[in-house]
Structure 1
Amino acid sequence: MKNTYLYIFCFSLLSLGSCSLDTEPITQTDTNFYKTTDDAYSALVGCYDGMQVATGAAGKGVPVVSEIMSDDCFGGTGNSDKYDYAAIDEFDIARAPSEVDMYNDNWVAYYKALYRCNVFLSKMDQIDWKGDMTLKDNYISETRFIRAYLYFEMVRLWGNIPLLTAPSTDNIPQANPDDVYKVIAEDLVFAANNLPSVAYNATTSGRVTKWAAKSLLGRVYLYYTGYYGKSDLVGVVTKAQALQHLEDVIAGSGHGLVDDFSTLWPAASVDKYAGENNKEFVFSIKYTYTSDYNGNTDGNHWLVMFGMREFSSYPYGRGWGVTVNSKLWNAYTANDTRRVSTVIGINEEKIPFDKINNQREYTGYYNKKYTPMVDKDGKDLPLTMGSQFWDISQFQDYVVLRYADVLLMAAELGSGNAQSYFDDVRRRAYKTAFTSIPVNYDNIMNERHLEFALEGVRYWDLLRQGIGKASSTIAETTTLLNGGVQATKTISSVNIQKTKGLQQIPNTQITLSNGVLKQNAGW
């Protein structure tokens, strides 16, 4: 297959914006590129850029989708909008039967980013490294981490995907997920073993580190062994090895918990914000405010989905209204400081929200961790920074891994310091109201829910506990306000089980593959 959306060809690797999609066979050669260390750096920037676009600027933002699929958010959006987010929320294409390509832009962006990584990895030996093999190993490690991260996001979302570890135009079928996880595991082990042991404050913000690779290995191990019911990570990483990687982060990374949970999130702390480079953030995907409609896609395009529907109230900015389930607010006790740092409560904060008639699935709650913001004059922050486009130029970074996650993963994997790690996370949350409770699996999973709510983690934590646990937790019938009118909302556990928690393969990709790609069950 030559003309396909599966495999993307891009030569403007240095550009911080995405390159255009090219569905024609490539004839230009790259013999004059990939020669010098400057070329190598440009190619590496292209790989980071591909990851940034795939995560932040293409299609339906996976951090948003991950929350909509969970029990913490509803699809929401405008009362007159189409029902694509409802279809995702309810695992039911019948809610939006014409939406057969909900994730096509995501699919294209992910494979574009993978293509960049695979090309760069294939050219490493033709670059003149001037004897600096450490630099070469670092660039290989960063690129393989990016590839692993992309594949992990894809295989969790779709389950069945084509696996490419070299540039190709072949029309290949979907791989066994084990084969994908083997590449993920080997890429992350390589990065963990080859990146330097440098404390976080001596690294470049947004760059992959040894600690990021080790932390992501822990997450991949827990998800894979949980969802697929296996005892190790495809024979590459054992439980003991996964734990040791996390213990290495705790012992040697220099990362730690910030003192005040609220300062992790700009809208929750405003003037007290700890910043995007604080010691708790192990790995983040970086964004800035320069997006436009001429190819610059450096902004966080998905953040706007979490904003209050068409309404601003300092410091919270307007958005498209993905709503938070009131059950999340009620899951926190009154003395848990994470509640008011995680969720915007319309009534609780006396916000004069007057767009209920425009909002579908109104609950009175929105995401505070990831929300657009305005200044004291009510002006959207991207506009105050000089952007012309408030919606696509949101610039809050996406925090992929926090140190609190490292502590709780290590506790879950049976660290000898499990109780101490568990207590550290809870002590910060409850402050003077802290009391110790036993560290056990149920308590750890509950703590993960409260700690990482609305960060794109909860759904995957449910799914790795088994499709039965996930479906029974997410399913509900409740009454919400659609355009100010009460309506019944039903999420069926049967639908979640039919899909095995996976999402729709884009119909365009199935068509372009001449049926080689197969749709996931339930879609």
Structure 2
Amino acid sequence: MKNLRIYILSAALLSLVACSKSFLDTEDVTSATEQNFYKTPDDAWKALVGVYDGLQRIWSGGFAFPVASVVMSDEAFGGGGNADGFGLQMIDEFDKLRSPSDQNMFGDTWALYYKAIYRANMLLLHMDGVDWKGNDDLRKTYEAETKFIRAYCYFDMVRLFGNVPLITKPTTDNVPQTSVDSVYKLIADDLKFAAANLPAISYGGQDAATRGRVTKWAAESLIGRVFLYYTGAYNKADLVGEVSKAQVLAYLEDVINNGGFGLVEKFANLWPAASLNNYVGEDNKETVFAIKYTYTSNWNGNVDGNNWLVMYGIRIQSIYPYGMGWGGATVNPKLWDAYAPGDSRRSASIISIKDEGLDFQNIKDQREYTGYCIKKYTPMADAAGRSLAEKMGGVSFMISQYQDYVSIRYADVLLMAAELGAAGAQNYFDDVRKRALGASFVQLPVTQANIMNERKLEFAGEGIRYWDLLRQGINVAATAIAGSVTVQNGGVNTTKAILASKVTETKGLVQIPYAQITLSNNVLKQNAGW
């Protein structure tokens, strides 16, 4: 972990980014030092904004978590350009021999997560040095927000990499990897503190100056997600940190009964590219927590934009209303086929080139073309083919995408509560399905198999499916992901094969960047299969 030294002082104190559509507008404090900072509540506020900014930046480089989650699942293939390297295929197929030279696919990802964690640790370390002027509630709120973000980052890290260094205080030491239980203990403790001390503000309760901040409901919902993943993937009864199933269900029921959330009436209206003029907008009543972006990124270090969205765009071509991108994560046809004909989520989640009558002209430049692309998160263009991000003032479609990543939706809360055996489980399950199916709705019983299938259909392309597979067991995941299908590489029919043995060999984990292993003087150990 010696590479931590490159951001020891600068990253901890800076707010750095201005995000015009949320509370992230703040002055730069680059002249501050650790000695003269962290004295007043205003100092703490600026540092907290820096923590949020760290969260916003975690996917500004490397292989972004939402994209990796989709590519590794049974939802999509690597895709990309037909003349590109095979890094995406290496990740998609869990096979390092597909691209042996790509030893640092997650290099920037690793570093950016630890930068965000470092910022959180610095603020937590200096909480006692701030003169809170007797406002203990303010301190607890700032501490709770910071701990939520630290937990969020570690939850991503431990799922991706397995055993990771657990760093809770700023350090330049080579910290060895620790057990997953130790990481989950910190996650659980941080989230319990956040749930107990964050404001119980409803989805519409935040004004423009504070929109995007973590609430009690986000913490309680994330505890549900962490519990289900940990207990499933590691075959445990409770979440380490003494969090039982009954406690988690109480958290989720609190969100349902008191959070003020609801399902947006039409599923398509949740997504800009699926609804156009009927899009309900960001921070709608279904958004429990989102990572916020805007178009003001530039080439000089401002990274407000959603840099990973362009991966999903149609390969080097704008076809109204879809903007151009890199053609990554081409959708597996079996996902399209999994939807019932009357399910509104199919056309809202997936772009079907054929069914939408689109003129795709760059098939010779596209690898693993299937005729399907992700719609929920895709760049957009106007009728003339101009990127909406650039039209709004962004410097480039590559770095100025502005769509928020909705990390937790209310539909997820309902389905998690149903899965955990809530008294209202059937109603929760039915509510999600009724919206999707409309007049074709037929009630199904609440079973584990039915819930998992519903989650596959409801959250397609949102970076959730892969983790739902893994928490059912590595063999279940491997069986779902493995298979053989015909795709087109450069317009030529090609067999795409993923072996179940490769998924199980890696245990579903990704490659720890070899550069980090070298920097640690081999203190860090590589995951099996990589």
- The TM-score range, normalised by the shorter chain, is over 0.9
1:118-267 to structure 2, matched below 5 A, reads: 118-203=121-206, 204-267=210-273
Which stretch shows the higher mean deviation, 123-132 or 412-421? Answer: 123-132
Deviations 1:346-390 (A, max 9, x none): 000000111111100000000000000001222101110111211
- 1:5 touches 1:512 (CA, 8 Å); kept in 2? no
Unpaired segments ≥5 residues, structure 2: 20-31
Which stretch shows the higher mean deviation, 346-355 or 2-11? Answer: 2-11
1:294-373 to structure 2, matched below 5 A, reads: 294-322=300-328, 323-373=330-380
What residue identity is the alignment partner of 1:38? D
What's the counterpart of residue 17 of structure 2? 16
Of 40, 43, 49, which aligns to 1:45?
Answer: 49
Matched, 1:109 2:115: no
- 2:203 touches 2:284 (CA, 8 Å); kept in 1? no
Deviation at 1:273, TM superposition (A): 0.4
Of 437, 440, 446, which aligns to 1:433?
Answer: 440
How many pairs were matched up?
513
Of 415, 420, 434, which aligns to 2:422?
Answer: 415
Unpaired segments ≥5 residues, structure 1: 19-27
Deviations 1:436-455 (A, max 9, x none): 11111100000000000100
Deviations 1:238-288 (A, max 9, x none): 000011100000000001101000010000001100101100010000001
What's the counterpart of residue 456 of structure 1? 463
Of 11, 32, 39, which aligns to 2:36?
Answer: 32
Q: Secondary structure at the match of 1:257?
A: coil
What residue identity is the alignment partner of 1:66? S
What residue identity is the alignment partner of 2:463? G
TM-score calculated relative to the size of structure 2: 0.95
Deviations 1:143-192 (A, max 9, x none): 00000000000000000100011111111110100000000000000000
Deviation at 1:42, TM superposition (A): 0.5
CA distance in 1 between counterparts of 2:464 and 2:280 reads 21
Q: Secondary structure at the match of 1:447?
A: helix
What's the counterpart of residue 501 of structure 2? 494
CA distance in 2 between counterparts of 1:34 and 1:375 reads 46
Q: Secondary structure at the match of 2:431?
A: helix
TM-score calculated relative to the size of structure 1: 0.96
Of 66, 84, 101, which aligns to 1:63?
Answer: 66
What residue identity is the alignment partner of 1:316? Y
Equivalent pairs: percent with the same residue?
59
Deviations 1:319-366 (A, max 9, x none): 111211111110001100000000000000000111111100000000
What residue identity is the alignment partner of 2:262? G
Q: Secondary structure at the match of 1:201?
A: coil
Change (3 A) 1:216 1:9: same
- 1:17 touches 1:298 (CA, 8 Å); kept in 2? yes
Deviations 1:122-155 (A, max 9, x none): 1111111121111111000000000000000000
CA distance in 2 between counterparts of 1:4 and 1:442 reads 44
- 2:48 touches 2:123 (CA, 8 Å); kept in 1? yes
CA distance in 1 between counterparts of 2:143 and 2:89 reads 41
CA distance in 1 between counterparts of 2:126 and 2:291 reads 25
Q: RMSD of the TM alignment (CA)?
A: 1.4
CA distance in 2 between counterparts of 1:325 and 1:8 reads 43
What residue identity is the alignment partner of 1:382? A
What residue identity is the alignment partner of 1:498? E
